[in-house]
Structure 1
């Protein structure tokens, strides 16, 4: 485990990120106080950042997974008829 100050970390960030990626833990200090830690990613974490962000969103409950695994999109259901839409547009235009 290494400790590095913010200024040195800023100047040599890529070096410390490579160390963390290889398995080393890096303590980040500010005025001799530990303020953060660079750690290697969990082995279960996806290497693709989009997959990792989606997995975190699912874990925190922001996103829920689909109930069906169909590759086809769900069937379309019209919200309103074209006549209803035309009437709604005419009403909106009349209010201008």
Structure 2
């Protein structure tokens, strides 16, 4: 991971953006203190509501985030029993306890 000061980043912004676009991460420093991180957009940077902890792990390469579920991949299953039927079966099973 590269590190760059604010002044150098400002002067060579296009170059650093190209590096980030190619997959490189760049730490931005101000007087030696890291103030920002430039990272390529990834699965955790979209609007899916991925928990930030998972995004951090994905950036480190420790986990791989799954793709968005378009609905066709995991279709909704039909209920196995009618709504009140499960209660009736439990009542029959329990009997007069």
Please give the TM-score of this superposition, normalised by the length of structure 1. Answer: 0.46
Please give the TM-score of this superposition, normalised by the length of structure 2. Answer: 0.45
